[in-house]
Chains A and B, each alone.
Chain A
């Protein structure tokens, strides 16, 4: 069975600092990988996705993620965080047979300090 691990429950960074959120997955085949973000009162918004091809994926809001098959990782990065990035971030792996369902990690809550 597939699984996703987000080892950091809560991360605090200063505004303007760089960010890396970790995600490790377990999946038997080529995974479809996603990062979602949930801001307070909002739904889950897709930041970026990896299906195939280039292992460095660019997303919205200046985020990027790199798929590393050898490490079973899909870490999310941003070079300089903004106060508006404070939210909860979820990594997910897709089980794709034409119509997907997702397995999520437990999420990482990001706090930004001035």
Chain B
């Protein structure tokens, strides 16, 4: 089974430019998550899709970040305009949608990440 795929693996842009990151989850996984790791810090939750709907976007830092998941398959995360503090590694993860009665917590499968460098 193919894993979670992220593109690009590394992007270098200048402050003020726009970047779009893409994530292809495992086929059939309705849950899709975006996380971010800023240099030396912890990996932080950004948002969670269930199919095409945003379930939780409490971790999105500001309105320069826009995530979409049209059709409930792949997702994009756009940063516009990019700032220096947006540099970091952006991880995507997916999991199956659990239904009640729940027998335990789910497990996320992560992609390799997209490294963003803003100069």
Contact = CB atoms under 8 A, between A and B. Distances in A.
A binds B: yes
Interface of A: 4, 32, 34, 36, 41-46, 49, 51-52, 90, 92, 94, 96, 98-107
B4 A43 contact: yes
Contacts of A92: 43
Interface of B: 3-4, 31, 33, 35, 40-45, 48, 50, 55-56, 91, 93, 95, 97-100, 102, 104-113
Contacts of A41: 112
What's the dominant secondary structure at chain A's contact region? Answer: strand
20 contacts: A42-B112, A43-B4, A43-B110, A43-B112, A44-B91, A44-B93, A46-B109, A51-B104, A52-B104, A92-B43, A98-B98, A99-B95, A99-B106, A100-B106, A101-B45, A101-B48, A101-B56, A103-B45, A104-B43, A104-B44
B90 to A, nearest CB: 12
Contact of B108 (A42, A100, A103, A105): A100
B42 A107 contact: yes
Given A99-B31, A100-B108, A43 B113 contact: yes
Given A106-B40, A106-B42, A107-B42, A98 B112 contact: no
A43 B3 contact: yes
Contacts of B98: 98-99
A45 B104 CA distance: 19
A74 to B, nearest CB: 14
A51 B102 CA distance: 12
Nearest to B46: A101
Contacts of A51: 104-105
Contacts of A45: 110
B50 to A, nearest CB: 7
A4 B43 CA distance: 11
